[in-house]
Structure 1
Amino acid sequence: MARGELMKKLLASYGREAEFRTVAEQIILEEEQKNNKVLARSLRKSLDSTTGTPAGAKTLAPLIPFPDAANDFMDRVDIVHNQNDIVLSATNTRVFHGLIKEFKRGEDIRRNGMTVRSKLLFCGPPGCGKTLCAEIFAGELGLPLFVVKLDRIISSYLGETAGNIRKIFEFARKQPCVMFLDEFDALARARDDPSEHNELRRVVNSLLIFIDRMQPKGFLVAATNLDQSLDPAIWRRFDEVVWFDRPDAKMIERYLQMKFRNVDRNFNPLEFADSLEGYSYAEVERICVQAIKASIIDRRKQVRGADFTKAISDERRRRSGLSRLAT
């Protein structure tokens, strides 16, 4: 984010300590990434001496200096969504509530000789909320979110890939955060796949060792759309596997309520929930957005049922084309 925008956010958050500290942490992180370490340390010392943590507030965990070794392989992501922006199944809601409670009581658990669940594998088809859930999960924990750049991790010099993975795992071991690895199957593909290169099999061997030995201060979250492609030995390395399925009609109803809660309309979107069963959240969102755009383009104050019906028709056309490509 541009420095000017950060300064405006900092001034606008004055008097709201949790928000003020979050923006200040972003400024300090930028200085660390620019190698202005003396200034970064001074800013952090000033921040720590002038701000406290209000009771019950969710503030970001303090950031350690960002190591040059890991800087090329991950991005810090601003957390802009919250739990009101996602619809989860009852099972997944229970799982995440349990993980959050366990994290907060982590010291008590470790004192009793047990480990805290900290390595999660998200599985499910595209567009069903895995990435969004990782962001909201980090926000609920008060941890910064880092997204691993797999295109940088997988080096054209195959022997370097395992070393690159080691760098990000070392960072996650020291920094309380949620580290998110999307398209995890690109790294953890089954070693008995005849199409894979021997060097990539050695990468999987290294990855298994790293995950086994890692005890992150926050969470390692890996996500895949191709769970059947993962090496069988990967599964037992994760403390929890969370399945993200396509939403049923009831979940789509809740999602439509959320998307249209502040939108003026002359129809009831919930009447379309049954016809949208089998669609992903990403597809339903695209339908909602296109319907709302239609009213803006026509300079109407209300979204009409016809707008929504046309948006569904366009999405079906899109799905039909993608189905032909897959066959």
Structure 2
Amino acid sequence: MARGELVKKLLASYGHEEEFRAVVEQIISEEEKKNNRVLASSLRKTLDNIGTAARSATGLSRLVPFPDEANDFIQRMVPAHGPQDILLSPENTELFLGLIREFRQADRIRRHGFPVRSKLLFCGPPGTGKTLCAEVFANELGLPFFHVRLDSLISSYLGETATNIRKTFEFARRQPCVLFFDEFDAIARSREEAGEHSELRRVVNSLLIFIEQIQPGGFLIAATNLDGHLDPAVWRRFDEIVWFDAPDAAMVRKYLVHAFRNVRASFDPAGYADQLLGYSYADLERVCVQAMKVSVLGGNKAVSDKDFREAMRDARRRLTRKQKLEAQTGE
């Protein structure tokens, strides 16, 4: 992005903590790409100091120095989505509004001797918005969003995985944030499953203890597509279990209308809701984006019925292949 545009975005974000930080992160990234590492490093230190001063004054969570011992396992992600980018069921919308209200009045709740809900488990099939919801949730709370890198966390050396988990939880204890574990079943698999050796059982035992003991200043969120594989003891360690279901006909219709809210179309996208029933939100997004791309490539001023049907054919082909593969592998 041109420097002038970044400066304009920086000025426009004044007073909005997370937006401001996101733009500065972009500027730092641009300088790193230009190999201006001294300037990038200086900007990073300045940003952290600004965060400390600003958050101390406003009562928001400040960024603590990032520990070297957790650097390999945790990656900071700058939220790029807001509430306008996600559709939640009425049940989940009510739940998250309650969680936000609790977080913002946490001191009041604790003064009355009540705990604040801060450990959430997201369950549901792939593509139903679990990761996106965690990102939007962090953005709404004004908390930094950290993604746990399981590929680095899980070590091939006996004993190291439990140590890595401890370092990760220690970071979450000190840093008010949203700490997000995706594919949580990879480290919280049932200890009763055949073939699980003693080391993996020890990892799960350690994980259960860490979840039990931690009282994060922000939120610990774990997500899984395979809730049936989780150890039974995991469930009661979380304050809330949030279920993300595949969209029903009404939600598919709502999604299609939402997707084309700022795009000119010469047909009614919602009319295809019944044909797209059974698709995940990720599948629906792929169909809508592909239809828009086909329209652009065709030089059209509006997305046509033909463009959308072509995108649906592509999606059906892909899903059919995927289902055949799943049937062959037994997944």
The amino acid that maps onto 1:143 is L
Matched length: 317
**TM-score, normalization: structure 2?**
0.88
Worse-matched range after superposition: 275-284 or 16-25: 16-25
| 1:225 matched to 2:222 | no
Equivalent residue number for residue 117 of structure 2: 117
Equivalent residue number for residue 262 of structure 2: 262
- Counterpart of 1:255 in 2: which secondary structure? helix
Name structure 2 gaps, 5 residues minimum: 30-36
Equivalent residue number for residue 211 of structure 1: 211
- 1-side partners of 2:28 and 2:111: how far apart? 32
Cα pair distance change 1:45/1:320, threshold 3 Å: closer
- Give the C-alpha shift of residue 47 in structure 1: 6.4
The amino acid that maps onto 2:308 is F
- Give the C-alpha shift of residue 11 in structure 1: 5.9
- Counterpart of 1:120 in 2: which secondary structure? strand
Contact 1:6/1:23 (8 A) holds in 2: no
Cα pair distance change 1:139/1:46, threshold 3 Å: closer
Cα pair distance change 1:60/1:308, threshold 3 Å: farther
Equivalent residue number for residue 16 of structure 2: 18
- 1-side partners of 2:82 and 2:46: how far apart? 32
Matches within 5 A, 1:1-327: 9=6, 12-14=9-11, 16-19=14-17, 21-23=20-22, 26=25, 44-45=48-49, 61-327=61-327
The amino acid that maps onto 1:247 is P
- 2-side partners of 1:7 and 1:176: how far apart? 33
- Give the C-alpha shift of residue 233 in structure 1: 0.2
Contact 2:55/2:61 (8 A) holds in 1: no
Cα pair distance change 1:262/1:91, threshold 3 Å: same
Percent same amino acid at aligned positions? 54
- Give the C-alpha shift of residue 22 in structure 1: 2.2
Write the deviation string for residues 122-160 of structure 1: whole angstroms up to 9, x where unpaired: 000000000000000001111010000000000011310
- 2-side partners of 1:214 and 1:224: how far apart? 20
Contact 1:109/1:116 (8 A) holds in 2: yes
**TM-score, normalization: structure 1?**
0.89
Write the deviation string for residues 8-28 of structure 1: whole angstroms up to 9, x where unpaired: 635632262225742487499
- Counterpart of 2:16 in 1: which secondary structure? helix
Worse-matched range after superposition: 73-82 or 19-28: 19-28
- Counterpart of 2:159 in 1: which secondary structure? helix
Write the deviation string for residues 23-78 of structure 1: whole angstroms up to 9, x where unpaired: 48749999xx99x9998666655666689978xxxx97321100101111011111
Name structure 1 gaps, 5 residues minimum: none
- 1-side partners of 2:218 and 2:121: how far apart? 14
Cα pair distance change 1:316/1:146, threshold 3 Å: same
Worse-matched range after superposition: 146-155 or 287-296: 287-296
Root mean square deviation, CA, Å: 2.9
The amino acid that maps onto 2:138 is A
- 1-side partners of 2:250 and 2:85: how far apart? 16
- 1-side partners of 2:228 and 2:54: how far apart? 51
Cα pair distance change 1:24/1:171, threshold 3 Å: farther
- 2-side partners of 1:303 and 1:49: how far apart? 48
- Give the C-alpha shift of residue 252 in structure 1: 1.1
Contact 2:79/2:139 (8 A) holds in 1: yes
Contact 1:128/1:282 (8 A) holds in 2: yes
The amino acid that maps onto 2:289 is V
- Give the C-alpha shift of residue 311 in structure 1: 1.4
- Give the C-alpha shift of residue 85 in structure 1: 0.6
- 2-side partners of 1:80 and 1:254: how far apart? 22
Cα pair distance change 1:278/1:28, threshold 3 Å: closer
- Counterpart of 2:284 in 1: which secondary structure? helix
Contact 2:292/2:303 (8 A) holds in 1: yes
- 2-side partners of 1:6 and 1:176: how far apart? 32
Write the deviation string for residues 200-249 of structure 1: whole angstroms up to 9, x where unpaired: 11100000000000000000000000000000000000000000000011
Cα pair distance change 1:42/1:183, threshold 3 Å: closer
- 2-side partners of 1:148 and 1:310: how far apart? 38
Contact 2:121/2:222 (8 A) holds in 1: yes
Worse-matched range after superposition: 317-326 or 88-97: 317-326
